[in-house]
């Protein structure tokens, strides 16, 4: 009986020990649960792009979290952050993709060979599809743009390149298709996931630069010097069912959807004035609510926290050193500023 009691007590001790170890491991990995990832593009020629982490609840800022976690610099210009399949993809327009665990930012894998000027990506059918401008020609045009296919969500080699029109950007997966917007080609193109080839191509009004869903519908956002365009898409055929045009001068590719069919869009006069503003647009009511919710210069990215109703504006400070994130309430009143890295250009709210 004494031996039995000893064995039972030993089992309970080991169970408690393993439970504590498991709990400790979960706590140690949960570095970046909740909060906001801030994408700092980096400065051209320096390749010093990095990701910061901001906790709105505690106000905590963690800098250079890729290098801090993995013991090496990111070494690229970050173009996009994509959370998909429980992985976080860091897309560098210097021709690589780093894949990390979104919980602790530890490296999972990479795609580094065969890419040129990488812009964004989507995942589907356990594969990665990466939009890439391709190499520049002698006139700095991009005639050989493509979507690179990697047959493993953890990275690896490129198995195929799907040729598309010039300068693809954001993509969207729906109904066994990939919808692609090409900014220089000014086209909507649709790729069949079965054939892994373009099955539909159509000219669009404006510069197409991003997809979003609203009320169960899929839209392609586009812009030019005078207007913004919301192209309503047919998910089955890929065609454009309708286009809603709103007058908004100097709109850019930087936009974020908020609530109630409203969108925030960065506008900029560009060089030499660089008079920037945050415009609020209602797609539901098809009107520009205000062209200047907030004004300034150097606006380089925009994000929105749906629970806190906070707006995040990335200010590149003219690339004279590091940038700043300006935190606004939903009425455009400044709440605080956050010192971040070079060229803050995007936000991912977890």
Question: Does 10 fall in a domain?
Answer: no
pLDDT for 273 equals: 85
Q: What's the length of the chain?
A: 350
Question: Does 203 fall in a domain?
Answer: yes
220: number of CA atoms within 13 Å, CB side?
A: 35
SS3 content of the chain, % helix, strand, coil (to 5): 10, 50, 40
Question: Does 329 fall in a domain?
Answer: no
Q: Which residues of 223-250 are buried (b: 16+ CB within 10 A; e: fewer)?
A: beeeebbbbbbebeebebeeeeebebeb
| Cα 259 from Cα 278, distance rounded (Å) | 16
Q: Which of 21-30, 92-101, 181-190, 298-307 has the lowest mean pLDDT?
A: 21-30
Longest CA–CA separation in the chain, Å: 88
Which domain range does residue 157 map to? 77-247
Are 175 and 166 in contact by the 8 Å Cβ rule? The answer is: no
More confident call, 173 vs 271: 173
| Cα 205 from Cα 20, distance rounded (Å) | 59
| Cα 180 from Cα 197, distance rounded (Å) | 12
Average of per-residue pLDDT across 80-97? 97
Average of per-residue pLDDT across 168-183? 97
Question: Does 243 fall in a domain?
Answer: yes
| Cα 247 from Cα 46, distance rounded (Å) | 38
Q: Which of 16-25, 38-47, 92-101, 203-212 has the lowest mean pLDDT?
A: 16-25
More confident call, 188 vs 284: 188
Question: Is the pLDDT reported for residue 13 higher than 70?
Answer: no
Which tokens belong to 10? Answer: 């030993």
Position 212 confidence tier, pLDDT thresholds 50, 70, 90: very high
Question: Is the pLDDT reported for residue 25 higher than 50?
Answer: no
Which tokens belong to 221? Answer: 């956002």
More confident call, 58 vs 154: 154
pLDDT for 12 equals: 44
Exposed/middle/buried for 13, CB within 10 Å: 0-12, 13-18, 19+?
exposed
| Omega before residue 272 within 30° of 0, cis | yes
Q: Taking the model in full, what pTM does it have? A: 0.90
Question: Does 161 fall in a domain?
Answer: yes
| Cα 269 from Cα 266, distance rounded (Å) | 10
Position 141 confidence tier, pLDDT thresholds 50, 70, 90: very high
Question: Is the pLDDT reported for residue 43 higher than 70?
Answer: yes
**To the nearest whole number, what is the mean pLDDT of the chain?**
92
Question: Does 305 fall in a domain?
Answer: no
Are 349 and 314 in contact by the 8 Å Cβ rule? The answer is: no
| Cα 136 from Cα 166, distance rounded (Å) | 11
Average of per-residue pLDDT across 305-315? 97
Position 198 confidence tier, pLDDT thresholds 50, 70, 90: very high
φ, ψ dihedrals at 69, nearest 5°? -85, -40
Position 350 confidence tier, pLDDT thresholds 50, 70, 90: confident
Position 349 confidence tier, pLDDT thresholds 50, 70, 90: very high
Q: Which of 27-31, 126-130, 135-139, 188-192 has the lowest mean pLDDT?
A: 27-31
Question: Is the pLDDT reported for residue 15 higher than 50?
Answer: no
pLDDT digits (tens, 9 = 90+) for 237-286: 999 999 999 999 999 999 999 998 999 999 999 888 889 999 999 999 99
Residue whose token pair is 């629970």 = 307
Give the domain CATH number at 177. Answer: 2.130.10.10
Closest C-alpha among 346, 344, 345 to residue 321:
344
Q: Cα 168 to chain center, whole Å?
A: 14
pLDDT for 214 equals: 95
Position 18 confidence tier, pLDDT thresholds 50, 70, 90: very low
φ, ψ dihedrals at 10, nearest 5°? -65, -40
DSSP 113: S
Position 32 confidence tier, pLDDT thresholds 50, 70, 90: confident
Question: Is the pLDDT reported for residue 23 higher than 80?
Answer: no
3-state secondary structure of 249: coil
pLDDT digits (tens, 9 = 90+) for 320-333: 999 999 999 999 99
pLDDT for 275 equals: 95
In the chain, where does DSSP find H-type helix?
A: 2-29, 65-70
Question: Does 226 fall in a domain?
Answer: yes
| Cα 209 from Cα 136, distance rounded (Å) | 20
Number of domains in the chain: 1
Question: Does 104 fall in a domain?
Answer: yes
């Amino acid at each position: 009986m004494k031996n039995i009691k000893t064995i039972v007590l030993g089992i309970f001790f080991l169970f408690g020990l393993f439970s504590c170890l498991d709990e400790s491991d979960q706590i140690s990995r949960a570095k970046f649960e909740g909060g906001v990832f801030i994408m700092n593009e980096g400065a051209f020629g320096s390749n010093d792009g990095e990701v910061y982490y901001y906790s709105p609840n505690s106000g905590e800022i963690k800098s250079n979290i890729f290098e801090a976690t993995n013991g090496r610099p990111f070494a690229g210009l970050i173009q996009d952050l994509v959370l998909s399949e429980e992985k976080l993809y860091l897309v560098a327009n210097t021709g690589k993709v780093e894949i990390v665990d979104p919980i602790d930012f530890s490296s999972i894998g990479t795609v580094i060979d065969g890419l040129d000027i990488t812009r964004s990506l989507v995942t589907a059918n356990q594969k990665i599809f990466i939009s890439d401008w391709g190499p520049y020609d002698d006139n700095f045009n991009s005639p050989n743009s493509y979507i690179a296919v990697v047959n493993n969500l953890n990275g690896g080699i490129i198995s195929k390149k799907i040729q598309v029109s010039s300068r693809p950007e954001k993509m969207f997966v729906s109904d066994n298709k990939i919808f692609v917007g090409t900014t220089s080609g000014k086209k909507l193109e649709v790729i069949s996931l079965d054939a892994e080839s373009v099955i539909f191509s159509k000219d669009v009004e404006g510069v197409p630069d991003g997809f979003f869903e609203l009320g169960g519908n899929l839209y392609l956002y586009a812009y030019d010097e005078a207007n913004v365009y919301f192209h309503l898409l047919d998910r089955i055929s890929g065609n454009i069912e309708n286009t809603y045009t709103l007058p908004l001068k100097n709109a850019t590719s930087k936009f974020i959807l908020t609530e109630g069919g409203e969108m925030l869009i960065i506008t900029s006069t560009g060089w030499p004035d660089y008079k920037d503003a945050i415009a609020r647009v209602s797609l539901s009511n098809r009107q520009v609510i205000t062209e200047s919710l907030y004004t300034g210069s150097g606006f380089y990215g925009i994000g929105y926290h749906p629970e806190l109703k906070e707006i995040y504006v990335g200010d590149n400070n003219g690339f004279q050193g590091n940038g700043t994130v300006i935190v606004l309430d939903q009425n455009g009143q400044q709440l605080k500023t956050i010192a971040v890295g070079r060229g803050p250009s995007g936000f991912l709210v977890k």
